[in-house]
Amino acid sequence: MRLQKFLARAGAASRRGSENLMTAGRVTVNGEVVTELGSKVDPLVDEVAVDGRVVRLADGPVTLMLHKPAGYVTTMSDPQGRPTVAELVPAAEHPGLFPIGRLDRDTTGLLLFSTDGEMGHALLRPRGHVEKVYTALVEGRPSAAQLAHLREGIELDDGPTLPARAALVEAEAAAAALAVLDVPPAAPEGASRQYARACSARARDRSIVRIGLHEGRKRQVRRMLAAIGHPVLALHRDTFGPVGLGGLPRGAWRVLEPAEVHALERAVGR
């Protein structure tokens, strides 16, 4: 079997990612570094390792979820030295682990990771994009007409959006949503201006909107709500397709159950 195909089937990375691992000198076969693409291995005889960790076909791909806290950028490395989500997940144990999509630095909530490149691409491709649901604390209170505008699709600088699910969160549900957003009643000393506004908004003119999207443009929820005149103060992703955070604590991760992986695969027609 070609080495890059072996690595992809074992869940080390996607096929292209496996080629990158090889050319970077991170793959060994029986203790020898192999960089030549097209090299072959016998899965029953040869010992293949990535960064010193033995990889086997029986291991299979790994998909996990992270409850992302604010302050981390969604990348596995950052040349600017900012905190990254790679610091919060077992990247060293699962070579080729990558985030499926992005959450911006200030957004919290569900972020999926996988070593299964094909599923990651399937979940993100525009034609098969699964719904992702967000809870947003916004300035002011959107009117029924403004929410209807979101449901119909609105024009952004990179084109019209697809129709979205959008509704105000009221009463007891709003109190629960504020707890999820984790916005304290008073901003700590040295907090950013936006965070301070979010904290003070708890006691005055603010509301909570739940919005479901079938797209994944950069900062799309924030841009859509700003476009109707209600800038986002705090944002949290609740679900990714059929998968939700449940009681996973902020900053923690867990491997998805087989039933959850199968549900994601069904959602994209795999």
User: Per the structure block, which two tokens stand in for 42?
Assistant: 């016998």
Alpha helices in 125-161 (DSSP H): 144-152
Of 42, 104, 157, 182, the active-site residue reads 104
Can you say how many angstroms the Cα of residue 37 is from the centroid of all Cα atoms in its chain?
31
Neighbours of 82 (CB within 10 A): 11
Please state at what angle helix 117-124 crosses helix 258-267, rounded to 10 degrees.
50
Beta strands 108-114 and 165-169: pairing type?
unpaired
- Tell me which DSSP letter residue 3 carries: H
- Look up residue 126 and give its amino acid: P
- Which DSSP category does 12 fall into? S
CA distance 106 to 80: 17
The amino acid that residue 263 corresponds to is: A
Can 157 be counted among the known catalytic residues?
Answer: no
Which are the catalytic amino acids? 104
